[in-house]
Structure 1
Amino acid sequence: MPFMKGPSPIRRTIKYLEAGRLIFKDQLKIFTVNYNVIGSNHAGTKDFVFWHLPQIQYKNPSVQVLTLKNLTPTPFIRCFYETGHQMLIDVDNRSKEEIYEHLINVVGKTGKVLEAEIIAKEKKDNPANFGVLCDRHCICEIPGQVPCSGTCLLPKSWRGKYKFNKAEY
């Protein structure tokens, strides 16, 4: 099977795609990478596109990602924002790791923002949720539910212990 040969199969796994650390800021709408296929100063950019671009596309579904090959003498990355501004990033003679770390620092969301988004995503305003961080502490607070066994005992006929082991009572 040609699908499972070479270095590409690892890039097609969900575990690999979710391992990406670069999540763009909300204002970024278009991300373009310009490089040549031939040339030693383009090697890092070519490796970056091969290894990290699938992760970037997976983590940022609302951002348009383009690769423009063989159109420029020096490799660069251009970011277009929704306000109309552009950012040029020079990636000439850089390795794929240097490019990736630089993009995380420049156009990526900070760790604090990512943590705040995770917390906001976890808290759901669904009335069916109950627990420590929800509106209701226990399901017994919802009308029509069985009362809490800590406040009043259930009838013996409702308990499995009584129903299945009648000889012990």
Structure 2
Amino acid sequence: YYNPVITISAYNDLCPLLFSPILGKQIRRQLSHPAHFGPQKYCLRECICKVEGQVPCPAVVPLPRELTGKFQAALRAGAQD
């Protein structure tokens, strides 16, 4: 009779307090996961380079030539010739 997706979203618009505690717990659980990185507002780390053992950020330390895409493309082009 009714589309259940539309019915739930309409009900959620009318009664947002019913679903907010459940969704809030899920969001907090996702944000506190140590593997996530992004803006400090949402995640524990801003950049993957702040994790020990990872390659440093190219903004701080230039990458070795072997890790750049231009160098890899030049190697492939040279191997095909």
TM-score of Structure 1 vs Structure 2, range by shorter chain: 0.5 to 0.7
Runs of 4+ in 1 over 3 A off after TM superposition: 114-120
User: Which residue identity does 1:138 align to in structure 2?
Assistant: C
Q: How does 1:45-124 map to 2 (within 5 A)?
A: 110-111=15-16, 113=17, 114=19, 117-123=22-28, 124=30
Q: Which runs of 5+ in 2 are unaligned?
A: none
Query: 1:161 Cα shift?
Result: 0.7
Would you say 1:127 and 2:34 are equivalent positions? yes
Cα RMSD of the aligned pairs, angstroms, is: 2.7
Q: What TM-score do you get using the length of structure 2 for normalisation? A: 0.62
Identity of aligned residues (%): 28
Return the match for 1:140 from 49, 55, 66. Answer: 49
Q: Give 1 or 2: higher strand fraction.
A: 1
Larger radius of gyration: 1
Q: Give 1 or 2: higher helix fraction.
A: 2
SS of 1:161's partner is helix
The higher-RCO structure (CA 8 Å, 6+ apart) is 1
Q: What TM-score do you get using the length of structure 1 for normalisation? A: 0.33
Query: 1:135 Cα shift?
Result: 0.6
How many residue pairs align between the two structures?
A: 68
Query: 1:139 Cα shift?
Result: 1.0
Which residue of the partner structure matches residue 18 of structure 1? Answer: 5
